[in-house]
Chains A and B, each alone.
Chain A
Amino acid sequence: MGAFQPLLMKSLLPLSILATADGSGSHDVLLKLAGVDYLILGIYFAFVIAIGWVLRKYLKTSKDFFESGRSLPAWVCALGFIGANLGAQEVIGMAASGAKYGIMTSHFYWIGAIPAMVFVAVFMMPFYYGSKARSVPEYLKLRFDEKTRSFNALTFAFMTIMSSGISMYALALLLNSILGWNFHLCIILSGVIVLLYIFMGGLTSAIYNEVLQFFLIVLGFLPLVLLGMKDVGGWHGLVEKLDVLAQRTGFQAGTYTQSWAHAGSASSNPMGVEWFGLAMGLGFVLSFGYWCTDFLVMQRAMAAKDMGAARRTPLLAAVPKMFFPFLVIFPGLIAMALTVGGHGFQLPPKDGSYDYNMVVPLMLGHYLPSGMLGIGLTALMASFMSGMAGNVTAFNTVFTYDLYQGHIKKDGTDAHYLAVGRWTTVFGILASMGAAYFAAAFNNIMDVLQLVFAFVNAPLFATFLLGMFWRRTSGHGAFWGLISGTVAAAVHQGLTIPVGAAVGLTQGGWVTIVHTYPSIMAQNFWTAIFAWTICMLATIVISLATAPNKTDDQLRGLVYSLTEKIREHDTPWYLRPATLGVVVLAGAVVLNIIFW
């Protein structure tokens, strides 16, 4: 099964993929840690908690807790933005798909992230940041109405807890299988650490730790890639060995090392997708839906100290993001090259192919001696925790502002909401632990739930696009458009199936089969395209059929045509979003051409 579509939507992997071990804990310990490795891990945990401890005295208001007081410089927000997204499911999942699909996985970055990050910075941030909304759902409330906000807030809150729980579950499962650590202890320990630093330091604490985690992951994984590349004989050695693999799997030479050359038809690449589905489904609908509307990442940009910094956040984040394929996909390529090249490294077999999820842990054990192994493992744990913390901070904000203040207690004092935020964090962590155990016990139900939320997410970008750029869009239009898009996603999935898959809730075809896709990824991309299109059309039609529910005055600052253009006379030309955006896009184009 190659479904990692929710990866982009919510940075999630289907559990059936994640479950490399069955959780029962077969205790063949893969990595042996020395005292120095434990020392490094211990120091890291101490630092993480200490940051929360130091930051607690700067935390006075709910704005500090939920929005970092809107005080952070752009580069810190940018690294938090990228760090929150760089969860371990991404690190492990991207290496796994690098091994499985080759360099085509880079589409998740070069067309699946960069263009959307530029778009949100240049065109959408002025409304998110400028509207003074404290969350993405709150923007929907200001722009449309309560029901649209509540729908988004509820689904988002549920989804964050689920993601955070799955992150915990995956961490515990992994540590149990590679180190033999106790599954329950891992869940409790990771939960308690994340709880401590968020409870004390709020969003700032989460962002600071994400910055730390970012550098740890980069500096911890880079030696792995450098050593691996040297081992396989550089880029040419890598291409040579992966061509052998291509031959074995029945593809043309270069299939695993060229990103576009084999995307002409779905049958000529292991991903089973063609260029149009790739560009529209991944590059447009899924990517823009995630990077432009997901509060988890947007919260980091909204914590910036001013509009300029908020707009520069996704742009600065796009620079490292562009180079991440070298860090997270290359280990997968190297692992496959070593496996076919007979270098004394073998990915373990699984279901007639390989256990791709083991790429990262095995590569760590293969190339890193004690000392650096501790760093690599710390980086891995850091990425799990940053994914979890990102979800929990987004959850406590949406819960407190959009659900609690929106529906339960509208006129509390600031201290009251601060307290609610803190206790929501405790609740969020406990619920995540619950979700982790739920995932362990009911793998399949969790897969279905993830799919349901993927349906909710798919059409979202159409709603925001219309809301921000077409002032006639009405509250009813937005709400019912979203519902139609979600239903369309479900119906499309129910009517189609990837080739060779069994009919069922997670794979599709549960209504009847009218079309068969060459791969589950192609099915996912087209589900997203349908959902988006239906949402767009339904929102337009319903908006035209209903009366506008906001006056132009109420929409000032929320809609493009009614908002004053941002003056940038004080900003030097090289720091302006448009300039940075062009530079970043040019970089992505160059990378696409190099690896064409």
Chain B
Amino acid sequence: MQLDVRIPMGLLFLLLGSILVVYGLISDPVIYTQHSLGQNVNLVWGSIFVVFGAAMLLLSRRKKE
């Protein structure tokens, strides 16, 4: 069996999600009132990315055992 696609996918989303979360925490809140109806989409969606990425990595590990 070759590379499990869930590994790069998990890594990518984990990485992008973390960047979004960090950016969501440090960015000026005014960009959210300007764009996303006052919601910190970076923080919220970044967390979803992190959960999704982690789930993919977990699934790929469980399969191997």
Q: Are B12 and A47 in contact (CB under 8 A)?
A: yes
Chain B nearest CB, measured from A44 CB (Å) = 7
Q: Are B12 and A372 in contact (CB under 8 A)?
A: no
- Interface contact tally, CB-CB below 8 A: 87
Whether A505 is near chain B, meaning CB under 8 Å from some CB there, is no
Interface string of A192-221 (1 = CB under 8 A from B): 000000000000100010011001000100
- Please, which residues of chain A bring their CB within 8 A of the CB of B15? 43
What secondary structure prevails in chain A residues at the interface with B? helix
Q: Are A368 and B36 in contact (CB under 8 A)?
A: yes
Whether A50 is near chain B, meaning CB under 8 Å from some CB there, is yes
Whether A230 is near chain B, meaning CB under 8 Å from some CB there, is yes
Q: Are A212 and B8 in contact (CB under 8 A)?
A: yes
Q: Are B34 and A369 in contact (CB under 8 A)?
A: yes
Q: How many residues of B contact A (CB 8 A)?
A: 30
Whether A447 is near chain B, meaning CB under 8 Å from some CB there, is no
* Closest chain A residue to B5, Cβ basis: A208
- Please, which residues of chain A bring their CB within 8 A of the CB of B24? 371
Q: How many residues of A contact B (CB 8 A)?
A: 31
* Closest chain A residue to B40, Cβ basis: A369
What secondary structure prevails in chain B residues at the interface with A? helix
Q: How many angstroms from the CA of A76 to the CA of B9 in the assembled complex?
A: 12
Q: How many angstroms from the CA of A152 to the CA of B39 in the assembled complex?
A: 52
- Among the 9-residue stretches A51-59, A175-183, A321-329, A562-570, the one with 4 or more Cβ atoms under 8 Å from chain B is A51-59
Whether B31 is near chain A, meaning CB under 8 Å from some CB there, is yes
Whether A7 is near chain B, meaning CB under 8 Å from some CB there, is no
Q: Are B9 and A369 in contact (CB under 8 A)?
A: no
Q: Are A58 and B3 in contact (CB under 8 A)?
A: yes
Whether A71 is near chain B, meaning CB under 8 Å from some CB there, is yes
Q: Are A43 and B23 in contact (CB under 8 A)?
A: no
Interface string of A28-39 (1 = CB under 8 A from B): 000000001001
- Please, which residues of chain B bring their CB within 8 A of the CB of A263? none
Q: Are B16 and A40 in contact (CB under 8 A)?
A: yes
- Please, which residues of chain B bring their CB within 8 A of the CB of A407? none
Q: Are A372 and B34 in contact (CB under 8 A)?
A: no
B interface with A by C-beta (< 8 Å): 1-3, 5, 8-9, 11-13, 15-16, 19-20, 23-24, 27, 31-32, 34-37, 39, 41-42, 45-46, 48-49, 52
